[in-house]
Amino acid sequence: MHKHISILLVLLCLWIQSWAQQPIKDANFLAFLKSNYPQVVDNQNNLITSQAELVSGVFNCSSQNISSLDEIQYFINITELYADTNLLTSLPDISSLAKLTVLDLSHNQLTKLPDLSSLSELTTLNVSKNLLTALDDLSSLSKLQQLIAFDNNITKFPSLSSLIKLEQIDFSNNAIVQVPSLKQLSLLKKLELSYNNIVSIPNLSENTLIKDLYLNNNQLDTFNVSWLPQNARNIRIEKNYLTWDDIIPLTSLNNYSSRVKVSPQYALAIKDSIYSKRAKTINISTQLDRSIAQITYTWFKNNTTYTTDSSINISRVQFSDAGSYTVQLSHPSFPALTINGGTYQLVVKECIDTNSIRYTTNPINCAQNGSITFETNPNDKLSYFLYSPLTSDTLVSTTGIFQSVKYPLYSLLVKDENNCSVEIASKINVITEPCEEIILTPNNDGDKDEVYLNLNGSLKIYNNHGLLIDTIQCPTNWKPEVKNHLLPIGYYLAYLNDGQTKLGITIVY
């Protein structure tokens, strides 16, 4: 019996000894402890936990290239822990460090924080310059005064409404989009939210102690001056997407020019394409800040100053007017600031789509003149002008129909309702059909007084007015006379078998 008890006591002592001595995993942390707290390290480079518990006050292991702080949990009486500028990727359970008032874990590679709910005495928490994407529940840190978490990847603003003693919040350089109401934080003096993706801010007018408000380098496109903390002395809202409608109300603040920084602002993401046909009248304008007096508009075309009018009016626009137009808006209240009001791309098309113009022709023959008919979009109001190199005459039509075409080659010019003209590149060819021509001189001199018509069928002869003069049966020998009267001088058309063959007959004396 006594023997068994002795064995149990030996095992208990060994277990206590093993718990009281912990191997130190990180060589750099071991070196730090041996150099600064040699009493906590035994001859086998183990941590003597009983000695670690005696360490109190400030524990500063900054900039030691430490990658593991697993043994920090045994230093239960320290009140400030500075472990910044190391190589930490994670932390052990530190719930035993309940006396901490300051915890600085900045400049590491942490992706997640351990449970901090037991650190109820904490007044300062600095986790800046890590790889954090979120801050877990901090509601138990009721004495927290400073929360510093800049340079992380935090996407959501944590719930802080219960941390009513907060005086400073720094979430700069994260990926936060929305900010909840902070009106419960009545002691807040400094709010730093620059370099995020914030699109709107809550009403801060009840946070009357805020002196420094940093909202620069965000995505704000609207701003309400009545929501500002009235006693703020340093307000930064530059590099957002604000317009003069948002900025001019800031002039109601006392000493606004020294309290508020607004310049520069990001160029507004307004991009518009304007399509116009050549020779039309167009207007390029911006609707920005129309209600603000004393705005100066400066327009640029392809980065060259174009006009200082409030809008651009171009009558009879030409291809040379095409390009990129931008506008800048300035105001005397903030002379250093210009608002880049967007880009307008003017695209000029030909006034008439010549590819839509189609035409058909009827040939020229000895019986009649030819014709040309043009067709296009019925909504287009066009005038057509035909020119032939064989004459100085011009044929004009508003319907696109030309009935008396005498020549085989024409050029076409088209005009629209704005008097914009386009010449069609290709020439218009009208087929000329050949026909047999007969010349008679019936003066009884024996030369061309008559003609033998070696044809088969009925031949009808018409004068140039289209009147039927004679009908004869062929083949026959024909003398140009009707009822023993010679036909007068002129041009006649003869049709065999109602148009099977056409003959042109010229009579001269």
Residue 112 phi/psi, 5-degree rounding, is -155, 145
- Give the separation between CA 200 and CA 135, rounded to whole angstroms: 21
Same-domain pairing of 76 and 157: yes
Same-domain pairing of 392 and 328: no
Mean pLDDT of all residues in the chain? 92
User: Model confidence at 12, in pLDDT bands (50, 70, 90)?
Assistant: very low
pLDDT in tens, 418-454: 999 999 988 999 998 877 888 999 988 888 899 999 9
- Give the separation between CA 349 and CA 321, rounded to whole angstroms: 11
Parent domain of 475: 436-507
Same-domain pairing of 166 and 279: no
User: Would you give the end-to-end CA distance of the chain in angstroms?
Assistant: 166
Same-domain pairing of 305 and 322: yes
Report the b/e string of 118-153 with b at 16+ CB within 10 A. Answer: bbebbbbbbbbbbebeebeebebbebbbbbbbbbbe
Question: Among candidates 73, 119, 71, 69, which has minimal Cα distance to 89?
Answer: 69
Residue 44 phi/psi, 5-degree rounding, is -95, 20
Same-domain pairing of 141 and 229: yes
Same-domain pairing of 405 and 443: no
Within a domain: residue 6? Answer: no
Question: Among candidates 173, 229, 182, which has minimal Cα distance to 202?
Answer: 182
Same-domain pairing of 329 and 374: no
Same-domain pairing of 53 and 167: yes
Same-domain pairing of 36 and 133: yes
Question: Among candidates 42, 59, 154, which has minimal Cα distance to 105?
Answer: 59
Rg (CA), the chain: 49
**C-alpha triplet 110, 112, 113: angle, nearest 5°:** 95
Same-domain pairing of 312 and 448: no
- Give the separation between CA 7 and CA 2, rounded to whole angstroms: 9
Domain count, the chain: 4
pLDDT in tens, 99-113: 999 999 999 999 999
CATH assignment of the domain containing 408: 2.60.40
**DSSP conformation letters of 309-368:** SSEEEESS--GGG-EEEEEEEE-TTSTT-EEEEEEEEEEEE-SS-GGG-EEEEE-B-SSS
- Give the separation between CA 149 and CA 218, rounded to whole angstroms: 17
Residue ending a domain, choose from 429, 457, 477: 429
CATH assignment of the domain containing 110: 3.80.10.10
Within a domain: residue 411? Answer: yes
pLDDT in tens, 329-349: 999 999 999 999 999 999 999
Residue ending a domain, choose from 241, 261, 281: 261
156-163 own/partner pairs: CB under 8 Å, 24+ apart: 158/134, 160/185, 161/185, 163/138, 163/139
Within a domain: residue 414? Answer: yes
Q: CA-CA-CA-CA torsion for 444, 446, 448, 452, nearest 10 degrees?
A: 110
CB 253 within 8 A of CB 247: no
Within a domain: residue 233? Answer: yes
At residue 270, does pLDDT exceed 70?
Answer: yes
At residue 8, does pLDDT exceed 60?
Answer: no
CATH assignment of the domain containing 343: 2.60.40.10
Report the b/e string of 347-368 with b at 16+ CB within 10 A. Answer: ebeebbeeeebeeebeebbbee
Residue ending a domain, choose from 288, 314, 349: 349
Whole-number pLDDT of residue 337: 97
User: Model confidence at 367, in pLDDT bands (50, 70, 90)?
Assistant: low
Same-domain pairing of 45 and 193: yes
Whole-number pLDDT of residue 500: 75
Q: Indicate the burial class of 4 (C-beta count within 10 angstroms; 0-12, 13-18, 19 or more).
A: exposed
At residue 6, does pLDDT exceed 70?
Answer: no
pTM for the complete prediction?
0.75
Please report which helix (H) or strand (E) contains residue 429, including its range: strand 428-429
Helix (H, G, I), strand (E, B) or coil at 105: coil
